[in-house]
Structure 1
Amino acid sequence: MELVQKEHDRLSKKINAAQGLKSVDSIIDLLQSARNTIAADPSQAAITLAKLQNPVKSSFDSINDSLKETHSGLNKYSKSLDKLFKDRPLPNTEHDVLSSQEHLINRAIAMHLLREGQFSVAATFLSEMADKKAIKKQQEAETSATDNAASLLDIDEVPSGEVRKQFATMYYILHELKENNNLLPAIQWSRDNKEALEARGSNLEFELCRLQFVWLFHGGHDQQGPSAGGRQAALEYARREFHSFLPRYLREVQQLLGAMAFCPNLQDSPYKNIFNNPSAWSDVAHAFTREFCSLLGLSADSPLYVAATAGAIALPTLLKLQTIMKAKRTEWTTENELPVEIPLPPSYLFHSIFVCPVSKEQSTDDNPPMMMPCGHVIAEESLKRLCKGSRFKCPYCPSESHPREARKVFL
């Protein structure tokens, strides 16, 4: 990897696009000047062209030398990449689970394109899907390919038109937030969906309003730093908006208003992390995307991206496993299970597993984990078995409680 980084740095130094563009601009200016001179006085054409020969030749030589250096660096860089990432065959399997699930793959691709904001590409992809299906059912179908495309949206193969509108709204709000530092569309959306967000325990609306307060504090669109006008605008905004967040966010509101006393020396104040957070805008954009997708019943990240990334992480392990199996002439016959554990990032672990410390069994939907008032968790079946009469003792502490006081734990 060090060799690749070394060649990358060397290539970055060699590539001097600005110098090449200057040479091209110089040639264009010379040719334009010569054209104007000849147009004004045709008798000077021979002399003008003679004067033009050497400068143009030197400029072309400079451009060619620059291109040679660039191509040389690219060749060395590509060779270093080939040495590091050697071409290896992908692991094969006799059990191709996805071969019979083409509609699920098409749906995943269409959803990924919509989630990435590639609406025109998604429309073309859906149209091609409709055309393909129309050809297959040409003798049976009585509608055109366009009508068939509309009918496809009524089944589970591809997302509906309403989902497309929702994602278009999401990208409009994200564009305003990231490009124009305009939080108002996002705040309005959070208020329109206030009940659903509160049911999820989300604090998105307050995070957006807090960032709006900080933005006004720093001067709004001018962003010239804390000033008297910015403080006054932020204070008026706090009086108008923050009363609805009390008493849940009382401490956070107190911190925002208390920071005004430290305005001349905010860098050394206890509130500097709130008012000087370089990742605040990206964090709130990610939080908005996560909550928006959650209300649509979708994950914040594209399942296709997650699956491709997890597969790329697993490839080295699977290749090594395939090599060992070939060498030992063995086979793995279990379809739904891998013989080795694939280490994935914590964000890619979606199914938490609880093993009851009493029965040593994994929790299921029919046997969920239950938390007792003392804080210990056991499976529901173990809880029922341990109950004697109306009260029972926790097997891990002397506390007694009623079985009905235990509550389900959502992992």
Structure 2
Amino acid sequence: MDAPLKELSRLEKLTAKSSGRNKAANIIDSLDALLATLDSAKSNVDHITLDSWNSIVQTVEAKKKEIDDRQKEIYSVTAKLGKAIDKKFPSSLPSYPELFESESAVSALERTISLHFLRTGQFETARTFLEESNIDIPSELESQFYELHNILKALRNQEIGLALSWASRHRRFLQSRGSPLEFHLHRSRYIRLLLSTHAPDPLAAIAYANKELRPFFHDHEAEFKRLMNCITYLPLSRLQTSAYADLASPSLHFELEPLFAKEYCANLGMSRQVPLRVVGDIGGGGALAKIEKCRRVMRERKSEWSQRDEIPIEINLAPENRYHSIFTCPVSKEQSTEQNPPMMIRCGHVIAKDSLQKLGKSSGRVKCPYCPTESLTSEAVQVHF
């Protein structure tokens, strides 16, 4: 997206009013100056001399030339922007029938949008949207999102009291998930006490660790020992050059915010990521254009891959958007299941277990469909995606 964004930035500079940093005249500035000149001439129309009239004509011609020059630049940049977008998205998006015609579908879409505003902390926008769409969001859910963003704001300001209070109230839930949130919050406070310039004596930090961190010893034994051992490398300048330098890194505290948001949303039965943002990032990031291009090519070649409308292309996703893998056997064109898992044969190719058994001969050897000159033993290893 670098090329389209670059051209869009140039277009914004050409059409925006010039600031102190941008001294170049644009259309708006030229039109304002021209209007000011004409207004001044109109107010003094009774006293205009021949020289004044010639000066006005020259000003109008100069401003007209400036406007024409800027207009040409805008046309040029707009054309380049269109070409950059066409190059980035070479295939037009498919045309589908209206997906949100029914009342229930519209209601579901509006609810998703309103929850998106609430989850991202845009509370004023969410309130306006709820009033105009007549979507009913439980007040309890709204208050929970308010609480979430208040706690995240506190964590951003290095205040973990609210987060610790929430973690303490939901300890059983966090333990059922094996979440390290409460331990990490106490660890953050312990490190801050240990490195605080107002309390250089580590005794207060040790007392806090014995009271708050010791209950987590069995689940985080190795980390607990590191937290205790790092005291021997104080002060901070020495700790930063030791094997415990990561405990003195600010990133140790920055990780609390996303971890808390993840556990809070899980407690509400919601995904870690905002669904509408994920859809926009994946679909708007070029996936739709690639899928449509592949469909068009396969349709023209009459080589549809399967009856399930699948296409043999890979969509590159960010690591945070890789939730699980689905394996489709290249032989049977069926998706793997727990009863029919993917199996890797000795040559390195992977096929479904049922296909492996069907390819097996009475001699117990398998002829790989992708290695026609080689017969392989039926020994295979199950692949876990």
TM range (shorter): 0.5 to 0.7
Distance change in 2, residues 1:17/1:228 (3 Å): farther
Structure 1 pair 2/354, CA: closer, same or farther in 2 (3 Å)?
closer
How much has 1:103 moved relative to structure 2?
Answer: 2.0
Separation in 2, partners of 1:304, 1:94: 20
Residue identity matched to 2:119? R
For the Cα contact (< 8 Å) 1:95–1:335, is it kept in 2?
A: no
2:313 corresponding residue in structure 1: 341
Contact 1:216/1:230 (<8 A) preserved:
no
Q: Which residue of 2 aligns with 1:362?
A: 336
Distance 1:199 1:182 in 2: 26
> How big is the shift at 1:169?
0.7
> Does residue 112 of structure 2 align to residue 108 of structure 1?
yes
Flag the 1:78–1:227 CA change in 2: closer, same or farther, 3 A.
Answer: farther
| Cα deviations by residue, 1:90-115 (Å, 9 ceiling, x for unpaired) | 41234544444222211211111111
Equivalent residue for 2:174?
Answer: 197
Distance 2:199 2:274 in 1: 44
Contact 2:326 2:335 in 1 (8 A): no
- Indicate whether 1:93 and 2:95 are aligned: yes
**TM-aligned CA deviation for residue 239 of structure 1:** 2.5
Q: Which residue of 2 aligns with 1:269?
A: 242
Q: Which residue of 1 aligns with 2:60?
A: none
1:10 and 1:126 map into 2 onto residues whose CA distance is 37
Structure 2, unpaired ranges of 5+: 24-66, 342-351, 354-377
- 1:307 corresponds in structure 2 to 279
Unaligned runs of 5+ in 1: 22-67, 131-148, 154-158, 220-225, 370-377, 380-394, 398-409
Contact 1:91 1:318 in 2 (8 A): no
C-alpha spacing 1:337/1:284, structure 2 compared with 1 (3 Å)? farther
Partner of 2:149: 171
CA distance in 2, matches of 1:18, 1:236: 57
- The offset of 1:3, in angstroms, is 6.7
Q: Show the counterpart of 2:212.
A: 241
Alignment partners' CA distance in 2, 1:127 and 1:7: 38
CA distance in 1, matches of 2:100, 2:153: 36
Contact 1:3 1:80 in 2 (8 A): no
Cα deviation for residue 123 of structure 1 reads 2.2
What is the distance in 2 between the residues matched to 1:109 and 1:122? Answer: 8
Give the whole-Å Cα distance in 1 for the aligned partners of 2:222 and 2:327.
Answer: 35
**What SS does structure 1 have at the residue aligned with 2:234?**
helix
Deviation at 1:302, TM superposition (A): 1.0
For these two proteins, the number of residue pairs brought into alignment is: 290
Offset from partner CA, 1:218-242 (integer Å, 9 cap, x none): 32xxxxxx67526344223212211
Match of 1:186 in 2: 163
Residue 123 (structure 2) aligns with:
119
Aligned to 1:372: none
Q: Does the aligned pair in 2 maintain the 1:314–1:342 contact within 8 Å?
A: no
CA contact (8 A) 1:114 1:167 kept: yes
TM-score, length basis structure 2: 0.61
**Equivalent-residue separation in structure 1 for 2:308 and 2:99 (angstroms):** 10
Cα distance in 2, alignment partners of residues 175 and 273 from structure 1: 24
Distance (Å, rounded) in 2 between the aligned partners of 1:368 and 1:230: 62
The alignment partner of 2:323 has SS state of: coil
> Which residue identity is paired with 1:254?
K
Aligned equivalent of 1:260: 231
Q: 2:138 aligns with which of 140, 160, 180?
A: 160
* 1:213 and 1:238 in contact (8 A); partners too: yes
Output the amino acid matched with 2:207: E
User: Structure 1 pair 301/2, CA: closer, same or farther in 2 (3 Å)?
Assistant: closer
Q: Displacement of 1:128 after TM fit?
A: 1.6
Q: CA 1:325 to 1:243, structure 2 compared with 1: closer, same or farther past 3 Å?
A: closer
Instruction: Give 1:361 deviation, angstroms.
Output: 6.3
Asked if the contact 2:154–2:160 (Cα under 8 Å) also holds between the matched residues in 1, the reply is yes
- In 2 relative to 1, CA 338–198 (structure 1 residues): closer, same or farther, beyond 3 Å? same
Quick one: distance in 2 between partners of 1:20 and 1:318? 43
8 Å Cα contact 2:164/2:182 also seen in 1:
yes
Aligned partners of 1:296, 1:185: CA distance in 2, in Å? 18
Partners of 1:317 and 1:342 within 8 A in 2: no
CA offsets 1:319-354 (integer angstroms, 9 cap, x no match): 53366478x397979896343434142432334446
Distance 1:81 1:354, change over 3 A: closer
Distance 1:125 1:335, change over 3 A: farther
Q: What does residue 52 of structure 2 align with?
A: none
Corresponding position of 1:374: none
> AA paired with 2:175?
E
C-alpha deviation, 1:182, in angstroms = 0.2
TM-score by length of 1: 0.57
Give the percent of matched residue pairs that are identical in Structure 1 and Structure 2.
28
Partner Cα distance (1:255, 1:7) in 2: 52
Cα separation, 1, equivalents of 2:287 and 2:277: 14
Distance 1:92 1:320 in 2: 9
Task: Give the match's secondary structure for 1:268.
Answer: coil
Q: Displacement of 1:297 after TM fit?
A: 0.7
Residue 113 of structure 1 contacts residue 121 of structure 1 at CA under 8 Å; is this kept in 2? yes
Cα RMSD, aligned residues only = 4.5
Q: Does 1:207 align with 2:184?
A: yes
Q: CA deviation at 1:295?
A: 1.0
1:84 aligns with 2:61: no
Aligned-pair distance for 1:294?
A: 0.7
- Structure 1: distance between partners of 2:188 and 2:175: 19
